[in-house]
Amino acid sequence: MRLLAGEIRHFLVYLDRIGRGVLGAVTVDDVRGFMVEMAPRRPAGIGNVVWSLKRFFAFLNVAGLSDVHIDGLLALAAPRRVRALPCFTREETGHLIEGIETETPCGKRDYAMVLLAFSTGLRCCDIVALRLDGIDWRRDEIRLVQAKTSKPLVLPLSALAGNAVAEWILHGRPDCGAPEVFVRLQPPLVKLGNSTGSTLMRRRLTRAGIDHVAGDGKSFHALRRTAGTRLIESGAGLPLAAQILGHARIDSSRRYFALACEQLRQCCLPLEEFTCIKEGLR
């Protein structure tokens, strides 16, 4: 909803600038002019603009506020480009995990969260929201409802990650009434905030000696990308990867093929074979 409101706000500002004070006076040419103006400014996000405009005008049509139909005009809009951000290398993964001290409550908490992310591919928001009653210790499973998709998800809890979580709960977690597994170490003793992932990664990347600059993709979400890439590298197919990562669409898991270098090499034709095919097409 925030995405839709933001895009339509830009459109309404544009209409005000060109003197269209009434929605009923908006024409197809106005929409076309807005798209021409936005295209060079939003090359990677033009799909969001199209999606928002279609839904906005569908609402206007149903409400009788506009008789302009734009589906045909925007039917061939360019698809949204997806940037393939990197995952952590195996060497970086080792440095990151080994660099977390596990003698302190903060270290125990960070260690458990990082191992959970690496082993399950869970998003930071879902790890932060994980409840004590969401862990089935008898079956070694995690049960939760994903914040992004609102879909239930059941994942296996590996021995390494499970032991780290148990160590945090038994010997690091403050005694409090919060239902979440991971809580603050200072009052108020409540669930962690939205900035937990970025704060944790800044602290741990520095300690591990891993270079990091803004926009390089080495965020908490990179732990999820790493888990997805390792799944593909292990031979897991897209359906299984999508199921484990909790993707609503299987296409969302395809991006991890771009990070699985060894699998991409296997897809390449030998130079001699490629040359023969090229010669045969002439």
- When comparing pLDDT for 75 and 88, which is higher? 88
Residue from 175, 184, 191, 205 nearest 125 by CA: 191
Q: Does the pTM of the predicted model rise above 0.75? A: no
pLDDT at 103: 96
pLDDT band at residue 152 under the 50/70/90 scheme: very high
> Cα–Cα distance between 272 and 270 in angstroms, integer?
5
25 pLDDT more than 80: yes
260 pLDDT more than 50: no
- When comparing pLDDT for 115 and 259, which is higher? 115
* Average pLDDT of the residues in 85-91: 86
178 pLDDT more than 80: yes
Least confident of 21-35, 182-196, 213-227, 229-243: 229-243
* Average pLDDT of the residues in 75-89: 64
44 and 81 in contact (C-beta within 8 Å)? yes
pLDDT at 112: 98
Report the chain's mean pLDDT, rounded to a whole number: 83
pLDDT at 175: 96
250 pLDDT more than 60: no
